[in-house]
Amino acid sequence: MTGLGDRTPPRRRGEEAAWAVGFVALYVLLDWVSFIQPYGGLDITPWNPPPGLGLAFLLLRGLGWWPMLFVAGLASDLVTRHLSLPLVPTLLGELVVTIGYAAAAWVLARRLRIDPRLSTLRDVLQLVGVMIPTALLVAAGYIAVYHWFGLIPLGDVGTIWMRYWIGDMIGVAIFAPLCLTVGQGPLPPGLRAPPSPWVSLVQGLSILLALWIVFGGDLAQHPSLYYPLFMPLVWVGAWHGLQGVTVALFATQVGMIIAIEEARLDAEALTEVQFFLLALTLTCLLLGAIVTERRKVGMALRDSQSRLRAIFEVAPEGMLSIDDRGLVDTVNPAFCRLAGRPAEAMIGSPPDALFPELAVLLARAGGEGQLTRPDGSSVTVEVSVGETPLSQGHLRVAAVHGRA
């Protein structure tokens, strides 16, 4: 963020002001929407997405924006809870939350150097790994403040601490990846699933069907039977990868919040639902990250193969490769001209059947010899041979230089 006396152009200051206002407005909206079944009027709810938004905001816009977390928290207390609690613990509680999540953003950005786009499984694991202890510490600090001021009795501390931690973890695990992936714009074509509106429609309907199966009957009172929700989300994660599954998880969370409000679960069942949703979220996030990373590896492999093929095709030296069965695997145009044979006449054949003199050199470390063409003419060649192991077998590569 820029200071009041700096020389930042007015347009840039206007953009930063718009970002600040937009962030605070969205933070307050999310807090207001998720302020369901709170404990004692505190910001302790089963689902708490604002910390996820704040973490993503710092990772995308920069750590210098950390005071906006405090401003947004106070604005939420004013709008959602009408500052109904004493001012001092309210300020201290928001300060604990701000420091905790700003410190987590600093660790992720500066120490671990996480990619804000969550481009690898490692990034997702680091995000989750940092947020688990961060949410625990923030929950402990927040509850300690309100307990010190007599607003949380000692007998409730353990239960409320667990409820606060899971609520924050669910919010961060769903909303931070959603902002970090969808907020980066569409993925490159190689990382996106084949476009199919019908598949997306059926996947959306399957999520609605799973929600109806769980919450349309008696299953809502038995969180251990919520497993039908896994099936459509696993399908979405396997099909769309990380970006798609974050959207599906957010939609599922919204549907579950609405349904659970109608079901009127007791405190014990609500805690079970929190654990289920956290397990569902983390499982699907990791699945989506694995799928996206595998696609990136595949895309990088295809790019590497294309580059090598281009080099192979235009190389002035004759080049051929022999697989572990002893058959010609590939040849380049320069070798075709040198050997006087088309590629299709050589690939899949043993070298000693095509050019016996050259086969002797290919079986050794190379050297100088004669290459006989189909028309009976021959050319003196120098052969260099190299070998590389593959995941299955090995590959022998030869460079053949014709001497005039």
Q: What is the pLDDT of residues 254-313, one digit of tens each?
A: 888 887 777 777 777 778 888 888 999 999 999 999 998 888 888 888 888 888 888 888
Does the pLDDT value for residue 110 go beyond 90? yes
> What letter would DSSP give residue 111?
I
> What letter would DSSP give residue 43?
S
Q: Which domains does the chain possess?
A: 10-303 (no CATH), 316-403 (3.30.450.20)
pLDDT band at 109 (very low <50, low <70, confident <90, very high): very high
Does the pLDDT value for residue 2 go beyond 60? no
Rounded CA-CA distance 366/321 in Å is 13
Is residue 93 within 8 Å of residue 70, measured between CB atoms? no
pTM of the full structure:
0.81
With b meaning 16 or more CB within 10 Å and e meaning fewer, what string describes 225-252?
ebeebeebbbbbbbbbbbbbbbbbbbbb
Span 355-373, average pLDDT:
82
Q: What is the pLDDT of residues 112-152, one digit of tens each?
A: 999 998 988 999 999 999 999 999 999 999 999 999 999 99
Q: What is the pLDDT of residues 4-54, one digit of tens each?
A: 445 567 777 888 889 999 999 999 999 998 888 888 888 888 889 999 999
The C-alpha angle 123, 126, 127, rounded to 5 degrees, equals 85
Amino acid identity, position 231: M
Rounded CA-CA distance 291/16 in Å is 36
At residue 153, the 3 state secondary structure works out as coil
Nearest alpha-carbon partner for 354 in 364, 343, 365: 343
Q: Which helix (H) or strand (E) holds 255?
A: helix 230-263
pLDDT of amino acid 197: 82
Rounded CA-CA distance 205/200 in Å is 9
